[in-house]
Structure 1
Amino acid sequence: MSLQDKVCIITGAASGIGRGIAERFVADGAKVAIADLDLDVATATAEELTRRGPGKAIGVKMNVTDEDQVNAGVAEVVKTWGGVDVLVSNAGIQIVHRLEDFPFAEWKKLLSIHLDGGFLTSKACLPHMYAKGSGSIIFMGSVHSKEASPLKSAYVTAKHGLLGLARVIAKEGAAHGVRANVICPGFVKTPLVEKQIPEQAQTLGIPEKDVIEKVMLGETVDKEFTTIADVAEVAHLFAAFPSNALTGQSLVVSHGWYMN
């Protein structure tokens, strides 16, 4: 299965998991739009990946909660490369509070980035996929799409919601050859997770070592973090899979933290 010359949009792709997925796709010959809030960083990332080849990349400014900006970014990609084959809705944040202390503004911000972002980018890309009669939409879920943890009410709610959105797209898109699936990673040691370690230690009143070994990795089979490369390989599978045999599904990549 190959992504040679496939046009891919990856949100939040200037760093972290999104960048890792972009690297994997470009290495397979894809044309990748690095969609990110920071255009300068997105463009620098795109230039670096293009130098490595064999695929190519461009930077696109995109706030996934802004419908006009999402539509403009997708239109730019279509103008540059003629269509869209793959969307990876990866942009996300984490905010942790006990439920009774969760500021409503922060709740809405997190849900907007994850859920509104997934909705708006899908809405913008689907007409172009329908016109081609094929496409793949991939949402970045989490083990928290299946499970729950203290302090993460907004995140858990958002990640559960992406499962439902993917299933609707899978049903609506099937007649047009469009698939939709969800990647559900365990803890990946990105800046997003690194930031959580001291926050949870303070909130829970435990050492940072215990946050890592007991809270984050306590239910894994080997006390190992999931890697960006692990997630990128699953993204490649979902992106390159050739038929609707694999749609409306979620795949957990978590060192056995969650098994189903």
Structure 2
Amino acid sequence: MILSGKCAIVTGASRPIGKAIAKKFVEEGAIVYLISRDADRIALIAQELDPNDEGKAIAMPCDITSKTSIEEVFEHIAAADLVVDILVNATDLAIEKPLEQLELEDWTRNIKTNLTGAFLLSQKCFAGMKEAGAGKIINVASLISDNVKPGIAAYVAAKGGLVMLSRSIAAEWGKYNIQANTIVNADIDLPMSKEKAMDTDPMKLADKSSLAEDIADVALFLASDKANDITGKEIPVDEGFLTSLIKE
């Protein structure tokens, strides 16, 4: 098992992508902390991933926009005599409104959830990763940050910022053997995703149900020692969407 002995945090664990990544990590030997505001949902997922309650999947309700809430998670991890080796920021929130109707509260909520939380968690992981001499940070962003669609300006801005956060981490923390990369996905967690996929089907795009598994496979690779020389990169897992944009 390629993640045996590793400790991982996966945010957005109550959603399809986060759950698939957490499942893959548990299967490959990691101890995984499932992070979400939805306490009931992640408790059920933890039970599903670790049915014998062996401490392989731990549900940790957390508001990732709150430093206090994040601190509580890390206190729990430290009490278990663990250090975070792998951080996956897979939280996803999109508020759909035309730009001119977007309230400051909507904007702030999007930025805090999709970007600020990843920043706070990355900062919190830094000391332990630096001391260990290794670390993996994987951010899950969106194709929409490169192919802007109307009505989700705050989401686009946040996910675009997440890409640049990965690059900044790679540039500043690479000397400590910390790698940071971004998986750019095809937005399977967005309510409008199925409709968009139906509209952009020239490549016979893959079934959405399989996409989370594909993203989890890429996350597993990036979290492993096999990806030690890959950092500051964006890896698209997009059902061929980008290829479908090529005009003959």
**What TM-score do you get using the length of structure 1 for normalisation?**
0.85
C-alpha displacement of 1:131: 1.1
Greater CA drift, 99-108 or 158-167: 99-108
Query: CA 1:72/1:136 → structure 2, altered by over 3 Å: closer, same or farther?
Result: same
Aligned equivalents of 1:20, 1:183: Cα separation in 2? 14
The answer to whether the 8 A contact 1:7-1:81 is kept is: no
Q: Deviations over 1:164-199 (max 9, x none)?
A: 1111111121111110000101132xxx43x336xx
Q: Extract unaligned runs of 5+ from structure 2.
A: none
C-alpha displacement of 1:225: 4.4
The answer to whether the 8 A contact 2:97-2:151 is kept is: yes
Which stretches of structure 1, 4 residues or more, deviate above 3 A after TM superposition? 52-55, 209-212, 223-226, 241-244
The answer to whether the 8 A contact 2:65-2:113 is kept is: yes
Query: CA 1:53/1:186 → structure 2, altered by over 3 Å: closer, same or farther?
Result: farther
The answer to whether the 8 A contact 1:36-1:63 is kept is: yes
Supply the AA of the counterpart residue of 2:234.
S
Query: CA 1:61/1:167 → structure 2, altered by over 3 Å: closer, same or farther?
Result: same
Q: Extract unaligned runs of 5+ from structure 1.
A: 198-208
1:90 aligns with 2:75: no
Supply the AA of the counterpart residue of 2:112.
S
Query: CA 1:219/1:117 → structure 2, altered by over 3 Å: closer, same or farther?
Result: farther
Partner of residue 198 from structure 2, selected from 213, 216, 227: 213
C-alpha displacement of 1:163: 1.1
Q: Deviations over 1:182-229 (max 9, x none)?
A: 0101132xxx43x336xxxxxxxxxxx865521xxx166213344110
Report SS of the residue matched to 1:213.
helix
The residue correspondences of 1:243-258 to structure 2 (distance < 5 A) are 244-258=228-242
Report SS of the residue matched to 1:181.
strand
1:228 aligns with 2:224: no
The residue correspondences of 1:37-186 to structure 2 (distance < 5 A) are 37-51=37-51, 56-186=56-186
C-alpha displacement of 1:233: 0.6
Greater CA drift, 163-172 or 141-150: 141-150
C-alpha displacement of 1:41: 2.7
The residue correspondences of 1:14-25 to structure 2 (distance < 5 A) are 14-25=14-25
Aligned equivalents of 2:161, 2:235: Cα separation in 1? 15
Aligned equivalents of 2:138, 2:221: Cα separation in 1? 10
Q: Figure out how many residues of one structure are paired with residues of the other and give that number.
A: 242
The answer to whether the 8 A contact 1:30-1:55 is kept is: no
Supply the AA of the counterpart residue of 1:228.
A
Q: Deviations over 1:134-155 (max 9, x none)?
A: 0100111011232211112111
**What TM-score do you get using the length of structure 2 for normalisation?**
0.89
C-alpha displacement of 1:59: 1.0
Aligned equivalents of 2:44, 2:226: Cα separation in 1? 32
Query: CA 1:81/1:40 → structure 2, altered by over 3 Å: closer, same or farther?
Result: farther
Aligned equivalents of 2:237, 2:212: Cα separation in 1? 10
The answer to whether the 8 A contact 1:5-1:55 is kept is: no
Percentage of pairs with the same residue = 31
Report SS of the residue matched to 2:80.
helix
Q: Deviations over 1:33-72 (max 9, x none)?
A: 0111133332332122112799811111210100111122
The answer to whether the 8 A contact 2:47-2:53 is kept is: no
Q: Deviations over 1:65-93 (max 9, x none)?
A: 00111122123123224211000011121
The answer to whether the 8 A contact 1:26-1:54 is kept is: no
